[in-house]
Amino acid sequence: MSAPAHPQRNAELLGVYVNDHLAAATGGIELVCRMLRVHAGSRWEAPLQQLLAELRDEKASLLAVSAALGIPVRQYKQLGVWVAEKVTRAKLNGRLLSRSPLSDLVEFEFLASAVRGKRSGFETLRILAEVDERIDRAEFDRLIDQAHRQYEWLTDARRDVAAATFGGRPAAAERTGGH
């Protein structure tokens, strides 16, 4: 393997950064798995299945970058996020023992926000690819585009869920400047 074209800076911080994104990927996968159980047989099942496959693919890409850069994977971070995802199931949603319609809205909103953060992470790694040839530029271009499509779908889905939960028309939010 060849050395970077121009050495990147702050390698220790890059390790923290990549591990944080790996941990977030673990949490996202867990959340979508839970949502799939809740939405089995609904109109959300197929797009959530696709999202799950893409999240797993993205995590594999992050693991490959970690390996290419010699960044050790910090399993404790992934475990911590996995545990945190389980704990959030007990969040206050207006109901103590049953699932609230608010749960669906909060989950779709959280995923939309998380996808925006993930896309930013992919953009950061794509910027780094300009000075470190160990990072596949085309792969991060693909991941950025994929995250953008995910965000577009999640934005539409959360608007539909908001209207189903509280009333109103999902399209009403579009006049505020889009996504």
Per residue in 106-161, pLDDT tens? 999 999 999 999 999 999 999 999 999 999 999 999 999 999 999 999 999 999 99
Q: Give φ, ψ of 7 to 5 degrees.
A: -55, 135
SS3 110: helix
Instruction: Say whether pLDDT at 24 is over 60.
Output: yes
Instruction: Say whether pLDDT at 59 is over 60.
Output: yes
SS3 88: helix
CA neighbours within 13 Å on the CB side: how many for 134?
17
Lowest mean pLDDT among 78-82, 102-106, 131-135, 164-168: 78-82
Q: What pLDDT is attached to residue 95?
A: 52
Q: Indicate whether this model's pTM tops 0.95.
A: no
Domains of the chain and CATH, by start: 11-74+100-168 (1.20.1260)
Instruction: For residue 42, name the pLDDT band (cuts at 50, 70, 90).
Output: very high
What proportion of the chain, given as a percentage, has pLDDT over 90? 72
Q: What pLDDT is attached to residue 90?
A: 54
Can you list the alpha helix ranges (DSSP code H) found in 39-178? 45-69, 75-87, 101-128, 137-166
More confidently predicted of 94 and 15: 15
CB-based contacts of 135-138 (< 8 A; 24+ apart in sequence):
135/65, 135/68, 135/69
